[in-house]
Chains A and B, each alone.
Chain A
Amino acid sequence: MKKKTLIQIMLHLFLIFSLVIVVLPMVYMVSTSLKPNGALYEYPPRFLPGLEEITIENYLYILGQGKFYINFLNSLMVAGCAVLLAALISSALGYVIARFAFPGRNFLFSFIVLTMIIPGLTLIIPQYQLAVKLKTINSLTGLIPFYTAWTIPYSTFMIKGFVENIPKELDEATYMDGGGVLTVFGRIIIPLAKPGIASVSIFNFLTAWEEFPWANTVINDNLKRTIPIAISGFFGQHQFTQWGYVFALSVFSLVPILMVFIFCQKFFVAGLTSGGVKG
């Protein structure tokens, strides 16, 4: 018994030690955002501000800027729409591919999975030209179909796995009652695959919320920027970077992600571990 307790304590000590290293950069970010925004680089640099120095002026500055709210809403709107669209579309695809032997099914599914290998950014040139053609350059809503399309392969792959675990008898019972394909989709598949759809959607939200290269390439207008572009703009615009502002804005941008993550923890883990990993 004694030995067991000792081992537990050792394990905890080890975990805490490495945890400190892991969270150090995050703590430094928060601590910098709470320091007065003075010189380019403070000298001597300190890990934590002195107690009497702690200030929320950086946060107040960000909150006092009208464009902060716009950037924030932009991100919410784009990520929210993309997530909803991807959830609907991928559920439909996942359902049909899992249940019906239509011609080209195997080809379609293999192709969707294969596109996951292609590094997303390599398509940026033809996608840029496409955006020019569709007149969605510098358009906020123009981001949505691209984000949706990028998240479809992974989402479809995962949701198909979840659908396959739903007993087929439930479909058949619905058909017996005179229901059609759409009835099964709405009454059986969506409710029962909900945990899977939720976990995929959390992932997609994270992807869309933090997406940087594409939005940075197609959006020029200050007021159309999403949060990551706003952060990097703060960083690049001036000759010297006001780190206090950068990190205060960063902390704000982490809030929605943290909330989603904490409230949906259960789904999050479920999504990571089922589907892809069997065996």
Chain B
Amino acid sequence: MQTSKKGKFQIGLLLLPGLLIFGIFTVYPIIKLFLMSFFEWDFGNIADQKFIGLKNYRNVLSDRYFRIAFTNTIIYTFVTVPGQMIFGFLTAFLINQITRFKVGYRVLYYLPVITSWVIASLVFKYVFNTEGLLNYFLVHILHVTSQNIRWLDTRWSGLWIAMFLGIWKGIGWNMVVFLAALQTVPADLYEAAAIDGANAFKKLFNVTLPCIKGTILFALVMLTIGGFNVFTSVKMITGGEPGHQTDVVLTWMYHKAFSTGAFGYSAALSFIITVVLAIMAIIQFRMMQQKD
């Protein structure tokens, strides 16, 4: 159908607010960030920025602290993404088999998802504090150690707490997504598999998982993005301490930008993260397509 002049005007009218808000508050900052990453742009010299080419990128990539933060982010993502998916899928799988109280379980398992990151982080910090409940439990009730463990003061235990929180908070989302997917698997496929003598495991791997491949990919991509976005939990639980050992890329970027004023450095870092994330998303799509 040919759109009239008036129609075109109205289409423009509908597009305008979106383009304006999106353009000003998202697209412009993206472009600005990209430009900043090639300039010497610090708190000290806001007035005259010098073009320095790829120097910011070199500084980031050769920075010991960035490497620690990047490694931490990768570990966080590679632990929490499968962790959330496996527990979320198992929960969905079980809920899908039961006949009663489905909704009740779904609501309760979803509670951590709707709890804000700030609150969840504070609860975990409270539990894992050196004088907190967990240590008391380990020392005085289970007697597995004689001394309180300083969970928040070493790189790996600090990271583990953040990862534990990430998995705990994500199970509910995965449960809901996988539950919906499981309900789309045709029942006659299971019947056919049963006639062929397939056991529960074979049904799971040969019927269920291939049928929900689309959902697995969707969850994988979304959760990987989420893993790289981790910020509030690390910032609140360890604050990157001790000595930036538990920083992830975003907390390190935030520190460089707002504590040291190294805007050019932070801009380059931001672009490196985005590119890494884009590459990972492409790889995930490719991997899932190849399995066809």
Contact = CB atoms under 8 A, between A and B. Distances in A.
Interface of A: 7-8, 11-12, 14-15, 18-19, 22-23, 25-26, 28-29, 32, 40-41, 43-47, 85, 88-90, 92-93, 95-96, 100, 102, 111-112, 114-127, 129-130, 145-146, 148-150, 152-153, 156, 172, 175, 180-182, 185, 206, 209-210, 212-213, 217, 228, 231-232, 235, 243, 246-247, 250, 253-254, 257-258, 261-262, 265, 268-269, 272-273, 276-279
Nearest to B264: A125
Given A156-B18, A182-B14, A261 B110 contact: yes
Given A44-B136, A152-B22, A119 B274 contact: yes
Nearest to A39: B131
B177 interface: yes
A125 B266 contact: yes
B91 A15 contact: yes
Contact of A250 (B122, B218, B235, B281): B122
Given A96-B15, A115-B26, A217-B258, 7 more contacts: A22-B108, A44-B136, A92-B18, A122-B33, A152-B21, A231-B119, A272-B180
Interface residues of B, number: 94
A92 B30 contact: no
A269 B180 contact: yes
Contact of A90 (B18, B119, B267, B281): B18
Interface stretch (B78-86, B189-197, B249-257): B249-257
B21 A213 contact: no
B52 interface: no
A43 B95 CA distance: 39
B283 interface: no
A15 B132 contact: no
Name A's interface SS: helix
B257 A125 contact: yes
A272 B1 contact: no
B139 to A, nearest CB: 10
Interface in B1-22: 1, 3, 6-7, 10-11, 13-15, 17-18, 21-22
B36 A279 contact: no
A262 B215 CA distance: 25
Nearest to B101: A12
A270 to B, nearest CB: 9
A23 B111 contact: yes
A46 B132 CA distance: 9
